[in-house]
Chains A and B, each alone.
Chain A
Amino acid sequence: MEDLSKLSLVEQINGLKSKKFSSIELTEFYLKRIDQEKVLNSFISLNENALKEAKKSDEKIAKNKSSSLEGIPIAHKDIFCIKDQKTTCGSKMLENFISPYSSTVYEKLSSSGTVNLGKTNMDEFAMGSSNETSFFGSVLNPIDPERVPGGSSGGSATAVAANLCSFATGTDTGGSIRQPAAFCGITGIKPTYGRVSRWGMIAFASSLDQGGIFAKNALDAALALENIAGFDEKDSTSINKKVPPFFNQAKSKDEEHVVGIPKKIIEDIKDDNVKNNFFESLDILKKSGVKVKEIDLKNIQYSLPVYYVIAPAECSANLSRYDGVRFGHRCENPKDLDDLYERSRAEGFGEEVKKRILIGTYCLSAGYYDAYYLKAQKIRNLIKQSFMDAFKEVSSIMMPTCANVSFKLNSIQNPVEMYEQDIYTIPANLAGLPAISIPSGKINKLPLGIQFIGNYLEEGNLLNLSNKFQQNSNFHNE
């Protein structure tokens, strides 16, 4: 039998439809792969009903009643609630939490016919850039097991990179899809804030969190994204706009591109390899006929400090519900109510999560609110304005995804150094813009990514640009 993992999503769909192979065969293949690659620690839990779901899909295919992604085995970041399945968010706090309901993202993909293989490992509550903060252990980068896969959606990134699933869901608050996609050499897209419902997606920072997709290439990502996007009345921050056919848009020859190059940011890239890779990638785009224009993104250098006020502030409130009363970890023999709270939370949360709750609490507390929280909100506005000014001239903006290639496990101890991992990805979250990372080459076998940031609701344009790049390069197949 052919190597099913080499097939793109579109090829797998066609293979299933034409009955070249069944969903059960495809699912069994991936389950075997997952077992072979256990050491990567990509999954927190596996879905014991995966083969049953595959069987149902095969029956539907046999009856010609298949949905758009019928029988495709995928993986979900363990931040998405799935009814009757363990949903841990990478935390001891939710180690035993069996969700009584399902997230909209899961529901949509389920009704599209996908087979759920299991839930992928992640940084605890999506707080981290290396997947080292997971209560369930670090995930290893399949390209070099001594290195991190990036985070927070590290499990999903490795699952796609190591061919453990067809595609995977992820979430991105400050780069948690794009950075691991870059570190693992795959495609990852974070759509416009509000494009994908957050219902059932455990919150880290509500005004920044957005669900998205890891896939092998831009076309696969487009097809998958089509199936999770859309208005959801259960999410007040969901955008009530019709979802365009991303897949067709990605393939279209009519999309026009003027790619903005933020001059100052590119000049300031510290790592020469990253800088060179950026210009090589730019050449590929230019050769494919894309217009390029230098732009000035003012105040973008403040993104990191702004983010590290807003995200912790929002998380400090979002994580208050983990109090040991209705669900989640409870300490033993609490002597009074405060003891119950303080020990349950101290034991249930890991160090990074606690650090961020403390920072967020500090920034919102009496006497500090204006200097930190309000100040950050104002700069956030300026950053958004810079983007809006830029989009008057260009259709998208190109930047590196990361400042470096994947680093060794346990090699970064300083929190700020770790946070700096996300300097190129955070701006899109602050403004709520769609952004995609695609592989752009390797340095000593380690992948690098480039990132395109688009205007609101312009995912189709980004996917088209990415597809254009991938048609003129082969990094995504290496």
Chain B
Amino acid sequence: MKISEEILNNISSLSKIKIDEKIKSDLIKDLESILKMVEEMNKIDTSGIEPMSHPLEEADNLRKDEATDEIKRDEYQKFAPQTDDGFYLTPKVIE
């Protein structure tokens, strides 16, 4: 699979990772070599095979509906980049 610059820009934007123009061509080379290895998968016919998303098939771990969590807002906000009056702050979002 060829990774065009358009594809790279798309996945960069989806994953919110800015990619330096200077490294784009090297990065594309790396990604292509990884995908080439990954595409070994195409050698095997998987028609009719169920996908397996987890080593454990099913579970019954459920939680009781109890509000027992102790919430220490100030402690959790100590390492937050920007807060005020208990709010987390970000650059203004325009909807």
Q: Which chain A residues have a beta carbon within 8 Å of chain B's beta carbons?
A: 96-98, 100, 193-194, 207, 233, 235-240, 299, 301-302, 304-306, 308-309, 316, 320, 323-328, 330, 334-343, 345-346, 349, 354-355, 357-359, 361-363, 365, 372, 374-382, 384, 414-416, 419, 430-433
Give the docked Cα–Cα distance between A416 and B49 (Å). Answer: 27
Contact for A305 among B19, B20, B38, B50, CB less than 8 A: B38
Known contacts A207-B54, A337-B90; decide if A302 and B40 are in contact (CB<8 Å).
yes
Closest 9 CB pairs of A and B: A432-B55, A377-B51, A330-B81, A381-B52, A342-B18, A341-B16, A378-B46, A346-B18, A378-B49
| A432 / chain B contacts, CB cutoff of 8 Å | 54-56
* A345/B16 in contact, CB under 8 A: yes
Chain A residues, Cβ within 8 Å of B56: 193-194, 237, 239, 432
How long is the Cα–Cα vector from A240 to B59 in the complex, in angstroms?
Answer: 9
* Cα separation A357 to B8 with both chains bound (whole Å): 12
CA separation between A375 and B11, bound complex, in Å? 20
Complex interface residues of chain B between 23 and 76 (CB less than 8 A to chain A): 27, 30-31, 33-44, 46, 49-56, 59-61, 63, 72, 75-76
> Is B12 in contact with A358, judged by CB distance below 8 angstroms?
yes
- Which residues on A sit within 8 Å (CB–CB) of B27? 355, 358
| B17 A325 Cβ-Cβ under 8 A | no
B81 touches A375 (CB 8 A): no
Q: How far is the CB of A453 from chain B (nearest CB, A)?
A: 13
Contact call A305/B16, Cβ cutoff below 8 A: no
Question: What CA separation (Å) do A419 and B31 show in the bound complex?
Answer: 13
Known contacts A325-B90, A337-B93, A365-B11, A304 near B49 by CB under 8 Å = no
Q: Is B91's CB under 8 angstroms from A346's CB? A: no
Docked complex Cα distance between A290 and B60 (Å): 38
**Which one of A304, A325, A361, A374 contacts B11 once the chains associate, using CB atoms below 8 Å?**
A361
Interchain CA distance A340-B16 in the complex, whole Å: 9
B73 → chain A closest CB, angstroms: 11
Given contacts A325-B90, A378-B52, A384-B55, contact A357 B81 (CB under 8 A): no
Inter-chain contact B37/A375, CB cutoff 8 Å? no
For residue B72, which residue of chain A has the nearest CB?
Answer: A100
Can you add 4 more A-B contacts, CB < 8 Å, to A320-B15, A372-B38, A381-B49? A235-B61, A349-B17, A357-B15, A433-B55
The verdict on A379 contacting B44 (CB below 8 Å), with A308-B38, A431-B55 known, is: yes
- CB-CB nearest in chain B for A236: B61
Which of A334, A372, A381, A416 is close to B33, meaning CB atoms less than 8 Å apart? A416
Contacts of A374 in B (CB 8 A): 51
CB-based contact B18/A361 at 8 Å: no
- A372–B11 Cα distance when bound, in Å, is 15
B41 x A375 contact (CB < 8 A): yes
Q: How far is the CB of B59 from chain A (nearest CB, A)?
A: 6
User: Taking A326-B88, A336-B91, A362-B31 as contacts, is the C-beta distance between A419 and B37 under 8 angstroms?
Assistant: yes
Chain B residue numbers with a CB within 8 Å of A334 are 91
A349 to chain B, nearest CB (A): 7
Could you list some 10 contacts between A and B, CB below 8 A?
A: A98-B79, A233-B63, A324-B81, A358-B8, A362-B7, A362-B11, A372-B38, A375-B42, A376-B41, A384-B52
Complex: chain B residue closest to A323, CB-CB: B16
Closest CB in chain B relative to A93 CB, distance in Å: 12
Whether, in the assembled complex, B22 has its beta carbon less than 8 Å from a beta carbon of chain A, the answer is no
List B contacts of A98 (CB < 8 A): 78-79
Taking A361-B15, A375-B46, A414-B33 as contacts, is the C-beta distance between A325 and B88 under 8 angstroms? yes
User: Once bound together, how far apart are the Cα atoms of A320 and B17, in whole Å?
Assistant: 10
- Across-interface contacts of A342 in B (CB, < 8 A): 12, 16-18
Residues of B within 8 A of A328 (CB): 81
Return the contact of A340 from the options B20, B80, B91 (Cβ within 8 A). B91
In the complex, A328 Cα to B78 Cα: how many Å? Answer: 11
Q: Looking at the assembled complex, report how far the CB atom of A474 sits from the nearest CB atom of chain B, in whole angstroms.
A: 35
Beta-carbon contact of A359 and B17 below 8 Å: no
A292 to B59, CA, bound (A): 35
Closest CB in chain A relative to B68 CB, distance in Å: 12
Residues of chain B within 8 A of A309, CB atoms compared: 38, 41
**In the complex the two chains form, is A236's CB within 8 Å of B59's CB?**
yes
- Which residues of the other chain, A, contact B33 by a CB distance below 8 angstroms? 414-416
Partner of B34, one of A338, A384, A415, A431: A415
- Rounded to whole angstroms, the CA-CA distance of A384 and B53 in the bound complex is 11
